[in-house]
Structure 1
Amino acid sequence: MSQLSQQCRKLLYRMMWQTPDGIVDAFALCGTREDARRFFSAAISLVSGIHQDELELFNLESFDDLVSSGVSEDEDVRVFETQWNGAQVVGWTNRPLFLTPDPTLIARWAELRAELAAAQTNSVISRMSGRAY
């Protein structure tokens, strides 16, 4: 299983972007919270073709913020948590926008998606066969 790079652990920010089709979780590496706020606004405006003043951006959080509020045993996957029910994660990043070339972030997200798909498949097989896995 891959781990996030030290650069990612130090500089990662996530901001949520409300689109007509749902929420997109945008990720970038920036030096400060204010740099991240400006970068997300400019980059998402450019990518979407929507003026910065019309973007619905919210929940700017650093790596440390995400780790502190997350509940997963693996701290690296906490950056992809979006909803909780107590100590249970019930929502994950489904529509990421990676505004960084850091391969460890993308690899960790892909591994998480594979783990979630495998767990869901095992659950379906279990229900169909009447057994628990």
Structure 2
Amino acid sequence: MRHPLLACLLALLAALSAPVPAQVVKDPAPLAFRDAAEERRFHALVSELRCVMCQNQSLADSNAQIAVDLRREVLELMRSGRSDAEIKDYLVARYGEFVLYRPPVRGATWLLWLGPGLLLLAGGVVLVRIVRRRSRAAQVPADDAQEW
């Protein structure tokens, strides 16, 4: 009795571990804009927002289903009369500051903003020290006893 149960369990585990093909995102109805100004505002806004799934793409560039849904939501929020700042605040409240490509400078984000400059400055200091050390070692001491 143990062997058939074990065989069924192994078959079930094998079936559950089989790869599942990814679902292709199909946008049933493309976004329709009322005018060119709304379209420009929409594209400017979604290019400043990060896809919460892809993490390295903007909402404008991502093809993930959540990005499609968020683009629709952003358009609905725009049409409800919210400003760009209100839309960003709404998305930050839902997904955190990660959704912003340019998070505000705060105590938690100061290293993000100042880190590259600090690394560049530290690299410059190290480079200057190395060059000075090599130039001191390369100097030949003057030998007064030698005649040319």
Normalized against structure 2, the TM-score is what? 0.25
The structure, 1 or 2, with the larger RCO (C-alpha pairs under 8 Å, 6+ apart) is 1
Which structure shows the higher strand fraction? 1
Larger Rg: 2
Structure 1-normalised TM-score? 0.27
